[in-house]
């Protein structure tokens, strides 16, 4: 054969199948462009030196791997669907004398063309849009923008390597699909009728049980640490259940509709339901994919937008006052009050020397004990805890023990505690009886201070472990007795912490400078004296990190949601095109026996609404179940606002609903044009 024959055949085949190839190429170009942009922002040095971008770049670096994995899976899946639609064409090539080696060469050149067009246009689009993305990103994280235009050679190389590997795997899979089919199977693939699907109740029950198990895990999650550990287990179970349930359930639904004579024997429904019943086994997987993608978009956008919208609330919950000084050490300390008074004096002097006035001062110390709380007994021996076969991580607690006098002074309360008794409180919903045993000591609980926790520690509700706040009459005597409790690596479970928080009245730069000088003064005083930890932070200094983290997550959430939505559109489009080609002959016969164009359109609308509503309804149920879990995960970031999450979720549902309606209109028109 003449040189250039196979490339010409490849280009000709792609052009003739433009309706199938164009969406695929657009998707490939988008994937390349988004990958370049995220890699450009996350790994190149274009944003080095900007304030507040370190954490955000880490978020984007993680996003690079997520996009790479998703792009590989989705493009692999899409190409497989595309090749299935061209089996008849390859079967004709075989009958005309081409062997599978020749067809493999055509597929090779198609892959080369796809690779070149996707990388070329994708990189051009990515480079062209990278500056716009950079400006949007810096605006989200409130960093100072740089208006110079840069191109990242490293991002180009990474894009070329990744998508070259993906297209090579796609080519191998295409050859595999053709190699193991004979010409007769290829040419009749589009005409081969499906056997009437059976209502697979076993598969449906397995799917229902899997989804139910995922829902139960999600509903029973009470604490953030459990949400973190069990969330992905629940997600996997729900995904498996969704696929099984929609594959089997969609067939069962069609069978039930056919048995409903009042519904089935109508012009609008008869053709659509009967045609759906024959392909729902295959159709269910597509519906499940659409459902999962919609759910991913809703969950991703709802959570990241809520974090971004609530970033100021989160910052103030973590830093209720402008300046926050802290020091701690293991063990009982007889001279704790002298240490804290000396450190308090150093901080006051440093503040005065910098022309600031300390306001709203809150200074206090507390002893801490951690352990495993079971049946009102706190087990502190870590070896005993490790010996448990199944550890309930929701029972891991940390006790903050206050002296009643210091508790009242620091927080403005007027509590009283008798010897041998304690007040106890928590921001978590856990049961604590009338007594609490720690080591060899059992204490009567004389009262609860749950309503005071927000004043003591506004971020306690979002702690990864349960925080119990305990008030006793003499904390020093109690700490001395508890010092021998086993558990920590250094043999001492007891530790103490000291906090000093205040407002300075300074501007942002002044607060940051004051915190730095206090930090220096603390280091000069405590360095080399065996203290476990000490530091001084300012709210304004931490603001950049908060905004950077939440802005980076929101930006990444938008990009991932864009990819998920485009993937959803492609799946729906291919689904409509393939089904339109299958139904074309059926509707042609119905027209010949008297079915009007209006009746065809009504039948199509009936089918489209039935098919399109299934994934939307199931995705809505998934979202309702998963939102409480997402709320618990967001508390790990310091966001305690379920109402804000619900508002963000509602807005995302409306936006996705409008987008989905547009997809429905466009794809149903494409389907109608084919069948009519």
More reliable by pLDDT, 658 or 43: 658
In a domain, 16, yes or no: yes
Task: Please give the pLDDT value at position 516.
Answer: 92
Question: Could you give the CA distance from residue 367 to residue 620 in angstroms, rounded to a whole number?
Answer: 47
Residue 578 has pLDDT above 50, yes or no: yes
Q: What is the pTM of this model?
A: 0.72
Rounded to whole angstroms, the Cα distance separating 373 from 436 reads 9
DSSP string, 538-564: EHHHHHHHHHHHHHHHHHHHHHHHHHH
User: Checking DSSP bridges between strand 466-472 and strand 396-403, what pairing results, if any?
Assistant: parallel
- Residue 651 has a pLDDT of 92
Q: Exposure pattern of 634-670 as b/e (b: 16+ CB <10 Å)? A: bbebbbbbbebbeebbeebbeebeeebeebbeebbee
Does residue 339 fall inside a structural domain? yes
Note whether residue 245 is domain-resident: no
How many domains are contained in the chain?
Answer: 2
Burial class (CB within 10 angstroms; exposed 0-12, middle 13-18, buried 19+) of 34 = buried
Residue range 190-207: mean pLDDT, rounded: 61
At residue 281, does pLDDT exceed 90?
no
Domain boundary among 146, 173, 192: 192
Residue 673: is its pLDDT beyond 60? yes
- Our CA angle for 187, 192, 193, nearest 5°, is 165
Minimal CA–CA distance to 498: which of 348, 360, 357, 362?
362
Residue range 169-180: mean pLDDT, rounded: 77
Least confident range from 150-164, 180-194, 457-471: namely 180-194
Higher pLDDT, 431 or 113: 113
Q: What is the mean pLDDT of residues 359-366?
A: 90
Mean pLDDT confidence for 12-33: 81
Q: Which of 397, 372, 377, 386 is nearest to 465 (CA)?
A: 397
Cα end-to-end distance, the chain, whole Å? 41
Q: What pLDDT, on the 0 to 100 scale, is given for residue 147?
A: 64
What digits encode the pLDDT tens for the residues 322-338?
999 999 988 888 888 88
Q: Do 594 and 657 form a contact (C-beta atoms < 8 A)?
A: no
Q: CA triplet 533, 538, 539: central angle to 5 degrees?
A: 125
- How far apart CA 527 and CA 393 sit, in angstroms, is 35
Question: Percent of the chain having pLDDT more than 90?
Answer: 11
Most confident region among 218-227, 567-576, 631-640 by mean pLDDT? 631-640
Give the residue-averaged pLDDT of 169-176. 82
Above 50 in pLDDT, residue 497? Answer: yes
Q: How sure is the predictor about 502, in pLDDT bands with cuts at 50, 70 and 90? A: very high
134 and 145 in contact (C-beta within 8 Å)?
yes
Of 289-298, 561-570, 571-580, 584-593, which gets the smallest average pLDDT? Answer: 584-593
- Of the three residues 472, 505, 538, the one that is the final residue of a domain is 505
Write down the number of H helices and E strands in the chain.
Answer: 21, 10
Tell me: pLDDT of 48 over 80: no
| pLDDT tens-place string over residues 235-275 | 888 888 888 877 776 666 666 666 666 655 555 555 555 55
Residues in Cβ contact with 316 at an 8 Å cutoff, skipping those fewer than 6 apart: 458, 539
pLDDT at 376: 83
For the ranges 65-74, 80-89, 658-667, the lowest mean pLDDT is seen at 80-89
- Say what the pLDDT of residue 639 is: 81
Per residue in 434-476, pLDDT (tens digit) is 888 887 788 889 888 888 887 888 777 667 678 889 999 988 8
Say if residue 342 is exposed, middle or buried (CB neighbours under 10 Å; 0-12, 13-18, 19+).
exposed
Instruction: State the pLDDT at residue 221.
Output: 77
Alpha helices by DSSP H, 141-223: 153-179, 183-187, 201-220
pLDDT band at 388; cut points 50, 70, 90: very low
CB 226 within 8 A of CB 218: no
- pLDDT number for residue 196: 47
Would you state the pLDDT for residue 131? 79
Owner of token pair 């508890």: 482
Q: Which residues pair with 230 in a beta bridge?
A: none
Segment 476-495 mean pLDDT: 71
Helix, strand, coil percentages, rounded to 5, for the chain: 70, 10, 20
Distance CA 623, CA 656 (A): 13
In the predicted structure, residue 161 carries a pLDDT above the cut 90: yes
pLDDT above 70: residue 320: yes
pLDDT at 51 over 60: no
Host domain of residue 495: 323-505
SS3 485: coil
Helix-helix angle 224-259:267-309, to 10 degrees: 170
Residue with more model confidence, 220 or 674: 220
Spatial distance between the Cα atoms of 424 and 436, rounded to a whole number of angstroms: 10
User: Maximum Cα–Cα distance for the chain, whole Å?
Assistant: 100
Please provide the average confidence, as pLDDT, over all residues in the chain.
78
Q: Is 183 inside any structural domain? A: yes
Q: Which of 163, 192, 221 is the last residue of a domain?
A: 192
- pLDDT for 389: 46
Q: Provide the residue count of the chain.
A: 676
CA distance 83 to 173: 10
Pairing type for strands 435-438 and 377-379 reads: parallel
Per the CB < 8 A criterion, the answer to whether 619 and 295 are in contact is: yes
């Amino acid at each position: 054969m003449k040189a250039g024959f196979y490339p010409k055949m490849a280009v000709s085949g792609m052009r003739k199948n433009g309706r199938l190839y164009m969406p695929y190429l657009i998707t490939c170009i988008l994937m390349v462009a988004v990958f370049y942009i995220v890699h450009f922002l996350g790994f190149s040095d274009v944003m080095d030196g900007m304030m507040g971008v370190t954490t955000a770049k880490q978020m984007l670096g993680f996003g690079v791997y997520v996009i790479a994995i998703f792009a590989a899976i989705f493009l692999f899946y899409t190409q497989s669907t595309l090749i299935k639609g061209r089996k008849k064409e390859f079967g004709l090539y075989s009958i005309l004398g081409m062997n599978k080696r020749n067809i493999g060469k055509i597929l090779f050149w198609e892959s080369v063309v796809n690779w070149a067009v996707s990388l070329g246009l994708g990189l051009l689009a990515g480079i062209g849009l990278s500056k716009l993305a950079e400006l949007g990103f810096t605006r989200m994280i409130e960093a100072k923008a740089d208006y110079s235009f840069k191109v990242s050679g490293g991002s180009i190389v990474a894009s070329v390597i990744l998508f070259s590997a993906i297209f090579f795997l796609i080519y191998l899979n295409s050859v595999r699909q053709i190699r193991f089919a004979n010409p007769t199977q290829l040419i009749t693939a589009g005409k081969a009728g499906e056997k009437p699907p059976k209502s697979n109740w076993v598969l449906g029950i397995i799917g229902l049980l899997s989804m139910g198990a995922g829902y139960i895990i999600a509903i029973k999650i009470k604490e953030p640490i459990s949400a973190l550990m069990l969330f992905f287990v629940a997600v996997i179970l729900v995904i498996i259940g969704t696929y099984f349930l929609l594959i089997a359930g969609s067939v069962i639904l069609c069978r039930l509709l056919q048995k409903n004579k009042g519904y089935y024997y109508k012009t609008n429904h008869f053709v659509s339901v009967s045609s759906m019943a024959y392909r729902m086994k295959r159709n269910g997987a597509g519906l499940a994919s659409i459902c999962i993608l919609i759910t991913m978009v809703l969950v991703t956008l709802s959570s990241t937008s809520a974090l971004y919208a609530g970033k100021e609330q989160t910052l103030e919950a973590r830093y209720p006052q402008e300046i926050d000084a802290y020091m701690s050490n293991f063990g009982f300390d007889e001279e704790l009050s002298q240490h804290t008074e000396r450190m308090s004096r150093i901080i006051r002097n440093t503040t005065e020397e910098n022309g600031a006035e300390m306001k709203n001062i809150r200074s206090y110390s507390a002893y801490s004990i951690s352990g495993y709380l079971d049946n009102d007994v706190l087990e502190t021996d870590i070896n005993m805890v490790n010996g448990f076969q199944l550890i309930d991580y929701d029972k891991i607690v940390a006790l903050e023990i206050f002296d009643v006098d210091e508790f009242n002074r620091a927080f403005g309360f007027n509590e009283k505690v008798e010897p041998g008794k304690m007040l106890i409180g928590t921001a978590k919903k856990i049961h604590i009886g009338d007594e609490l045993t720690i080591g060899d000591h059992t204490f009567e609980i004389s009262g609860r201070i749950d309503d005071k926790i927000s004043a003591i520690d506004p971020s306690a509700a979002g702690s990864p472990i349960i925080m119990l706040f305990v008030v006793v009459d003499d904390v020093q005597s109690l700490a001395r007795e508890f010092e021998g409790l086993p558990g920590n690596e250094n043999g001492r479970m007891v530790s103490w912490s000291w906090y000093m928080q205040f407002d300075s009245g300074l501007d942002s730069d002044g607060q940051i400078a004051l915190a730095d000088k206090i930090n220096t003064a603390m280091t000069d005083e405590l360095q080399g004296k065996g203290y476990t930890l000490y530091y001084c932070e300012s709210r304004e200094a931490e603001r950049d990190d908060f905004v950077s983290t939440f802005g980076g997550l929101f930006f990444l959430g938008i990009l991932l949601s864009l990819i998920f939505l485009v993937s959803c559109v492609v799946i729906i489009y291919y689904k409509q095109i393939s089904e339109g080609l299958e139904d074309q002959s059926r509707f042609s016969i119905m027209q010949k026996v008297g079915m009007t164009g209006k009746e065809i359109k009504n039948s199509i609308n009936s089918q489209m609404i039935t098919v399109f509503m299934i994934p939307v309804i199931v995705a809505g149920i998934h979202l309702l179940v998963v939102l409480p879990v997402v709320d618990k995960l967001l508390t790990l970031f310091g966001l305690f606002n379920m109402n804000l999450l619900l508002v963000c979720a509602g807005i995302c549902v409306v936006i996705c609903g409008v987008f989905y309606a547009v997809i429905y209109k466009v794809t149903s028109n494409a389907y109608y044009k084919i069948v009519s």
